[in-house]
Amino acid sequence: MYKLIAIILLLAGCTPGERVLVTRASENGRTVFDSRVTIGELSARFECRISASGQCHYALFDPDCTDATCSKPPLQAFAVAAGGERTFADPPHGVHVCMRPEAGAMTAACAPGHAAGTPPAAP
């Protein structure tokens, strides 16, 4: 039965165990940031579709580190050029992802006004 459900999900474009985070921000009706992160059991793909700064910045945190009280540094931090993407094999299960258009250190709370999967606050 599980195989039948998995086949139906695949035909519908769904992948079991896949998580997709999309962050978009606009100013004056123009998109200034658009990023998509797809995390599966075997890989994670970070797509920087649009960024006014020219790059999307990402930080990956331990799954148990999700708020400002967590002082652990990111497991990994990196940038992807606008229009580009980066793929990793074997992402940590339940990894917490923060993304934003500007460079700088990120905390597990994704910095003020930057919750994971939501757009940054307008300046």
Give tens-digit pLDDT for 4-52.
454 554 545 555 678 899 999 999 999 999 999 999 989 999 999 999 9
- Predicted confidence at residue 119, as pLDDT, reads 38
| Helical ranges in the chain per DSSP H | 2-11
- The rounded percent of the chain whose pLDDT value lies above 70 is 76
* Average pLDDT of span 91-104: 89
Top pLDDT among 120 and 19 is at 19
Q: How far apart are CA 60 and CA 86, in angstroms?
A: 13
pLDDT at 76 over 50: yes
pLDDT at 2 over 50: no
All domains in the chain, ordered by first residue: 19-100 (2.60.40)
**Cβ atoms of 55 and 99 closer than 8 Å:** no
* Average pLDDT of span 83-87: 98
Top pLDDT among 102 and 117 is at 102
Pairing type for strands 43-51 and 76-81 reads: unpaired
- Predicted confidence at residue 14, as pLDDT, reads 55
Q: Minimum mean pLDDT among 10-14, 21-25, 70-74, 101-105: which range?
A: 10-14
